[in-house]
Amino acid sequence: MQDYEKFICIDNRKKAKINNKYLRFCQQLEYWDGNTFYGIGNILKKYAGLPLFFPLNFRIQHGMVFFDLLNSPQSLKENTDFYISQDINCKFLVFNEKLNKFFRNNYYENIRTIGAPIIYLEEYIKSKIDSEKKGTIVFPHHGIEQIDVIIDYNEYIEKLCNLPPKFHPITICMHYIDIQRGYANPFLENGFKVICNGNLRNPYFLYNFIDNCSSFEYVTTNKITSSALYYAIFLGLKGFIYGPDSKMKSLSTLYSNSVQEIIKDFPYEFPITSVEDYQRQIEISQKELGVNIRLSKKEMRSLLIRGISIEFIMNYLFFVVNFISNQSFKKIGIEILIRFKNFLTHFI
């Protein structure tokens, strides 16, 4: 198993680790841990002009999941259970109206469409536009802590090497879990550059993703439901599906059925023969990411503030008070309590 820390030098990013104690503390105060994934909660707060310590009484969709196309009831249940809260006041924030309609018709009515968090980084994206785009960034189908993904990396490398010259140079962007599992080694041993956006709870993950994609003309993956594909196309890259098939192996009973995930009647194709048809690709990406329903800053602020009730605030304050019994966080915790009190007094 590879130590992820060793790959920080490969990634060459100062923000690969969370060194800011205040930021770490705020993350640990999140109502739902899923809102810390890839920094999505912080992105919405910043866009809305809210402080990082502001609690979110929501569950935010953190990546592409085609719930309506899963034809395994068990896999569907495992994926939906992760997002659906037992708290009737907790909204599920989804990417697009198709998912909104699906959940309202089948599972859950307390749902709101806001689009993908990455679309709220528009200003940052504009600042990173690179006119000298060339080459391809590759996102292999990745695993998570509970699921391993098995890929014939030697076959993958051979296929990448055989791509026409216009797709070169090629850089591999790997998930930190796969780096830990040693899956970067075959690429490194064959001369490929390997980079990483950071770990699951890195608040700068999507910023790093944007940085890493900014200089490339093409994006490819061997998984058609990969979030990276739709995000990168949104950023202006031309995408295609390429590489060997992958198999998922469960490492936990929590996701025992997710490894049997089967997508039925998938509506999109991204063949390499149509890679230059960017207009078709961007229309798909924008539809899935909910670009057309992006909230204004005022609308987002109103949504996030109205999501918290008096009962929720009291529970939050009780949690903070108990949490700061840890002496290493006491000073920061008291500071946050004071800031939160002032915020409630002057801004809500």
pLDDT confidence of residue 14: 40
Give the amino acid at 26.
C
Contact 95, 289 (CB under 8 A): yes
Write the DSSP string, 54-93.
Answer: ----EEE--S---GGGB--HHHHHHHHHHH--S-TT-EEE
pLDDT confidence of residue 259: 53
Could you tell me which residues come within 8 angstroms of residue 319 by beta carbon, excluding any fewer than 6 positions away? 29
Bridge partners of 249, per DSSP, are: 148
Distance CA 176, CA 139 (A): 12
Average pLDDT along the chain: 86
DSSP SS3 for 221: strand
pLDDT at 297 over 50: yes
pLDDT higher for 11 or 135? Answer: 135
Report which DSSP code applies to 190: T
Question: Of 67-81, 148-162, 186-200, 321-335, where does mean pLDDT reach its minimum?
Answer: 321-335
Kindly indicate whether the domain formed by 121-292 is annotated with CATH number 3.40.50: yes
pLDDT at 268 over 70: yes
Contact 238, 218 (CB under 8 A): yes
Q: How confident is the model at residue 179 (pLDDT cuts 50, 70, 90)?
A: very high
Q: How confident is the model at residue 310 (pLDDT cuts 50, 70, 90)?
A: confident
Distance CA 111, CA 101 (A): 9
pLDDT confidence of residue 258: 55
Distance CA 177, CA 146 (A): 10
Cα of 275 vs its chain's centroid, Å: 24
28 sits in which H/E element: helix 21-28
pLDDT at 348 over 70: no
All structural domains of the chain with their residue ranges:
19-119+293-346, 121-292
Could you tell me which residues come within 8 angstroms of residue 67 by beta carbon, excluding any fewer than 6 positions away? 76, 79, 80, 99, 102, 103
Question: Of 58-72, 167-181, 245-259, 320-334, where does mean pLDDT reach its minimum?
Answer: 320-334
Question: Of 16-30, 126-140, 144-158, 232-246, where does mean pLDDT reach its minimum?
Answer: 16-30
Q: How confident is the model at residue 328 (pLDDT cuts 50, 70, 90)?
A: low
pLDDT confidence of residue 260: 55
Distance CA 121, CA 207 (A): 8
Ordered alpha helix ranges (H), the chain:
8-11, 21-28, 40-48, 73-83, 97-106, 122-127, 153-161, 176-180, 185-189, 205-213, 227-234, 278-289, 297-306, 310-323, 330-346
Of the spans 25-34, 138-147, 224-233, which averages the highest pLDDT?
224-233
pLDDT confidence of residue 58: 94
CA torsion, points 217, 220, 225, 227, in degrees to nearest 10? -50
The pTM is what? 0.88
Distance CA 33, CA 142 (A): 20
Question: Of 141-145, 166-170, 236-240, where does mean pLDDT reach its minimum?
Answer: 141-145
Kindly state the average pLDDT of the residues 33-37: 92
pLDDT confidence of residue 225: 93
Q: Given strand 91-94, what is the order of strands in its sheet?
A: 58-60, 91-94, 111-113
124: Cα within 13 Å, side-chain hemisphere = 16
Contact 37, 200 (CB under 8 A): yes
Kindly state the average pLDDT of the residues 134-160: 95
Distance CA 262, CA 73 (A): 10
pLDDT at 216 over 50: yes
Query: Structure tokens of 46?
Result: 């910043």
Q: What is the pLDDT of residues 47-71, one digit of tens each?
A: 999 988 888 999 999 999 888 887 6
- Give the CA radius of gyration of the chain: 21
286: Cα within 13 Å, side-chain hemisphere = 11
Query: Structure tokens of 121?
Result: 């980084």
Kindly state the average pLDDT of the residues 258-275: 80
Kindly state the average pLDDT of the residues 68-90: 78
HEC sequence for 240-291? EECCCCEEEEECCHHHCCHHHCCECCCCCCCCHHHCCCHHHHHHHHHHHHCH
Strand-strand pairing, 147-151 and 246-250: antiparallel
pLDDT at 343 over 90: no
Q: How confident is the model at residue 254 (pLDDT cuts 50, 70, 90)?
A: low
Query: Structure tokens of 74?
Result: 């068990």
Q: What is the pLDDT of residues 180-198, one digit of tens each?
A: 999 999 999 999 999 999 9
